[in-house]
Amino acid sequence: MTVRRSGQRAPRLPCYARTMRFTASIQREGDGYVAQAIEIDVASQGATIEEAVANLREAIELYLDESPLPARVEPAFVTTIDVALPAAS
């Protein structure tokens, strides 16, 4: 519980009316990780997966503060594929 003195205001926190879900692709790159939001092509990096995701979340919030808010984000479909390699000579 926070105790306030008379006349002091509580700190203002950002107010978000809703949330949006994005698909994050995370790949190892060098000594760290790169995280990318596929639907809006925003990326960030970090020393750990958790740090890369946290930095990506912040990058998306900054991007959305400066760009028109999409009415809807269509979820990305992510899958893996197998590709035949040429025979070794």
Neighbouring CB atoms inside 10 A of 49's CB total 14
Query: CA-CA distance, 32 to 45, in Å (whole number)?
Result: 7
C-alpha of 22 from chain center: 7
Q: Which two tokens stand for residue 49?
A: 């997966």
Report whether pLDDT(5) > 90.
no
C-alpha of 29 from chain center: 17
Overall residue count recorded for the chain in this entry: 89
The model's pLDDT over 30-86, given as tens digits with 9 standing for 90+, comes to 999 999 999 888 999 999 999 999 999 999 999 998 888 777 778 788 899 999 999
pTM (2 decimals)?
0.69
Report whether pLDDT(1) > 60.
no
